[in-house]
Amino acid sequence: MITFDRVSKRYGRVTAVGELSLEVASGEIVVLAGPSGCGKTTSLTMINRLIEPTSGAISIDGRDTATMDVNALRRSIGYVIQQVGLFPHQTVAENIATVPRLARWSRRRVAGRVEELLELVGLPPGDYAQRLPAELSGGERQRVGVARALGADPDILLMDEPFGAIDPVVRVRLQNELLRLQKVLHKTIVFVTHDIDEAVRIGDRVALLSQGGVLEQYARPVELLAHPASAFVAEFLGEGRMVRRLALLRVRDARLAQPNGSGLPTVSVRADASLRDALDAILRADGGRVTVRDVDTVLGVIDSESIREASR
Amino acid sequence: MSIITYIVDNWGTLGPQVTTHIEIVAMSMAAAALIGLILGVFAARSERFSTLILGVTSTLLTVPSFALFGLLSIWAGLGNPPVIIGLILYALLPVVRNTSTGIRAVDPAVTEAARGMGMRPSQVLARVELPLAAPAILGGLRQATVMVVAIATVGATVGADDLGQPILEALGRSSGTLVQVLAGVIPVAAIGLVADGVLAGVQRVLSRGAARGAVG
Ligand SMILES: Nc1ncnc2c1ncn2[C@@H]1O[C@H](COP(=O)(O)OP(=O)(O)O)[C@@H](O)[C@H]1O
Ligand SMILES: [Mg+2]
């Protein structure tokens, strides 16, 4: 668990982050979101002490980070940035080996770890290990960046707009890959973005900051979208938040109706589809009702009323 | 008399002068590389030091070489020592300047990633900044070497027994001939070309990735 206790960072008279208190639970993805210049990067990099707080304390599992050896702290925390910052004079394998080598792992253990990580991020080692960063696409480079950050299997991963410079199609793919990785890895991830759609898709919780690092709301995405705590939050969330929220809810969690005498609707959705997809199907279906299936089993029928109920 | 025959006939004197010339250049460049590298790293870190050291080293370059060698010989005596010291001073500017600009040109994202992964400042320098600045540093060493090979001839005026001697002797005698001057000049040019070629080769090898990897 990462705990911010009234953490501030001031530059002269400018307050980048003001008295931020926040708890990041172990194994969760917490997204720091907010407009440009609101203090996201400052908050994030105070965790690995690339920036030192002016006042307040950050602790990890109860230990104040200010008391730790700064380089040991950083080696225990993965760090991914938008520009990636791969070492251009080193191969992909050498880049990924950085932290294990700093930690003086044996040559064999390092080689094994590099292969494992390349597999994990979906880059076949035979094809990619010996390439230079200049020989990779933007998306591949960011995958290597993530693999390098995971080098010595840190418990914590800090990611600063990691997919910000990637085109939208590849970005969604990388987001999904991160979620898939997290299902296996269970890291504590702090993820910075100014893109609210990315925030609600990726985050177990979203911390929404306003200018000066003021915490406006800290909630699960479904809660944030349903109940914005202030006009600032509502405005940052943007138009159509209840409809967008449907993308985060599953059909299996809605209360389904049993099929009536007139037979099953011909259009059907899967139980693990989102309510957004279900609503789309309902709007397409003739009778305003669709069948919900879990593989071959029919679970019931869903209509716009059940969606309305489920989204309350 | 052809220049080739002249050089061959006089190799008994010229041979040792070639050796001395190379020794003087090698010693001054080794020292200038070490000192210049250290000063260059500090210049990359501090704007004020950079202004100071670049000012001093470029001013040194404006001092005429026979005057500098002459002044240094008052203190260091006649022969090779004042020449070696003077050449070190001349060679500093290109080495310091290129080291500093090479390090400053490293993508800040790359050094941030290095620090973020827990590299100590010395590790960031040795494993990231210097390797990436290496082609620029080698470029500075090449410039300095070519310059020093030529200026070393002036060392003959303070008694260095290098390839400046045949030139100086020829110029000092009414019977001196163009062939005698060329007997000094041609080996100097050859040393300069060979040294430059070797360093260019090293530069190419070190550029692996560093030059190609402008992105990353
Ligand atoms: N080194 C610095 N000196 C002065 N002001 C800074 C410095 N770094 C950041 N700031 C200011 O602090 C605020 C927050 O910056 P940052 O955390 O980078 O924002 P974000 O990542 O949310 O875009 C900004 O207003 C920025 O101008
Ligand atoms: Mg930022």
pLDDT of residue B209: 52
- Which residues surround ligand 1 with Cβ inside 6 Å? A 11, 14, 16, 36-42
Encoded tokens for A27:
């194994």
- A interface with B, Cβ–Cβ below 8 Å: 45, 48, 50, 70-75, 79, 81, 83-90, 98-99, 102, 132-134, 141, 145, 148-149, 151
- The domain segmentation of chain A, as residue ranges, is 2-240, 249-310
Is residue A144 a contact partner of residue A90, using CB atoms and an 8 Å limit? no
pLDDT at B1 over 70: no
CB contact under 8 A, B118 and A73: yes
Alpha helices in B105-129 (DSSP H): 108-116, 121-123
Q: Which fold has domain A2-240?
A: Rossmann fold (3.40.50)
Kindly give the number of the ligand 1 atom that is closest to the alpha carbon of A39: 17
pLDDT of residue A143: 95
Q: Give Cα B107 to chain centroid, integer Å.
A: 28
pLDDT at B144 over 70: yes
Output Rg (C-alpha) for chain B, integer angstroms. 20
pLDDT of residue B214: 41
Please tell me if the domain spanning A2-240 has the same topology as the one spanning A249-310. Answer: no
Report which secondary-structure segment, H or E, holds A31: strand A29-33
Is residue B158 a contact partner of residue B83, using CB atoms and an 8 Å limit? yes
pLDDT at B132 over 50: yes
pLDDT at B216 over 50: no
If you average pLDDT over residues B170-194, what whole number do you get?
87
Question: Residues B65-77, buried b or exposed e (16+ Cβ, 10 A)?
Answer: beebbeebbeebe
- Per-residue pLDDT reduced to its tens digit, A26-85: 999 999 999 999 999 999 999 999 999 999 999 999 999 999 999 999 999 999 999 999
SS3 content of chain B, % helix, strand, coil (to 5): 85, 0, 15
User: Measured on CA atoms in the order B59, B65, B70, B74, is the torsion positive or negative?
Assistant: positive
Indicate the pairing of strand A63-64 with strand A55-60. antiparallel
Closest CA to B103 of B57, B171, B50: B50
For helices B80-104 and B11-45, angle between their N-to-C axes, nearest 10 degrees = 40
Scan for tokens 């960031």, then name that residue: B124
Residues of A in contact with B214 (CB under 8 A): 88, 134
User: Measured on CA atoms in the order B123, B125, B126, B128, is the torsion positive or negative?
Assistant: positive
Encoded tokens for A50:
């690339």
Separation between Cα atoms, residue A240 and residue B59, nearest integer Å: 68
Cα of A192 to ligand 1 centre, how many Å?
14
Encoded tokens for A4:
């911010």
For helices B11-45 and B130-151, angle between their N-to-C axes, nearest 10 degrees = 140
Output DSSP code: residue A191.
E
Encoded tokens for A3:
């705990």
Encoded tokens for A181:
């990785």
- Listed in order, strand segments (DSSP E) in A128-229 are 156-160, 188-193, 205-210, 214-219
- Per-residue pLDDT reduced to its tens digit, B5-64: 888 998 999 999 999 999 999 999 999 999 999 999 999 999 999 999 999 999 999 999
Q: Output the CA–CA distances (angstroms, integers) from residue B75 to B29, B64, B67, B85, in the order listed.
A: 21, 17, 13, 11
Q: Probe ligand 1: pick from A11, A82, A159, max atoms within 8 Å of CB?
A: A11
User: Measured on CA atoms in the order B78, B69, B165, B190, is the torsion positive or negative?
Assistant: positive
Separation between Cα atoms, residue B167 and residue B184, nearest integer Å: 6
Question: In the 3-class helix/strand/coil scheme, how is A118-146 assigned residue by residue?
Answer: HHHCCCCHHHHCCCCHHHCCHHHHHHHHH
Closest CA to A124 of A148, A140, A110, A104: A140
User: pLDDT averaged over chain B?
Assistant: 92
pLDDT of residue B176: 66
Q: Grade residue B205 by pLDDT with cuts at 50, 70 and 90.
A: confident
Name the residue among B116, B131, B209 with its Cβ closest to that of A132: B209
Name the residue among B109, B118, B213 with its Cβ closest to that of A83: B109
- Per-residue pLDDT reduced to its tens digit, B54-102: 999 999 999 999 999 999 999 999 999 999 999 999 999 999 999 999 9
Separation between Cα atoms, residue B118 and residue A102, nearest integer Å: 8
First to last CA, chain B: 60
Separation between Cα atoms, residue A148 and residue A185, nearest integer Å: 15
Q: Which fold has domain A249-310?
A: CBS-domain (3.10.580)
Predicted structure pTM score: 0.89
Tens-digit pLDDT string for chain A (312 aa): 999 999 999 999 999 999 999 999 999 999 999 999 999 999 999 999 999 999 999 999 999 999 999 999 999 999 999 999 999 999 999 999 999 999 999 999 999 999 999 999 999 999 999 999 999 999 999 999 999 999 999 999 999 999 998 899 889 999 999 999 999 999 999 999 999 999 999 999 999 999 999 999 999 999 999 999 999 999 999 998 999 999 999 998 888 888 777 778 888 899 899 999 999 999 988 888 899 998 888 888 999 888 998 887
- Give the gap in angstroms from C-alpha B116 to the nearest C-alpha of chain A: 6
Kindly give the number of the ligand 1 atom that is closest to the alpha carbon of A44: 17
CATH number for the region B3-212 comes to 1.10.3720.10
Separation between Cα atoms, residue A37 and residue A41, nearest integer Å: 8
Cα of A39 to ligand 1 centre, how many Å?
6
pLDDT of residue B211: 47
Scan for tokens 């060392």, then name that residue: B155
Q: Which residues contact A54 (CB under 8 A, 6 or more apart)?
A: A8, A9, A10
Encoded tokens for B206:
């070190």
Residues A191/A195/A198/A199 CA torsion (nearest 10 deg): 50
Q: Grade residue B215 by pLDDT with cuts at 50, 70 and 90.
A: very low
Encoded tokens for A291:
């069948």
Closest CA to B106 of B140, B126, B133: B133
First to last CA, chain A: 31
Name the residue among A75, A86, A141 with its Cβ closest to that of B118: A75
pLDDT at B212 over 60: no
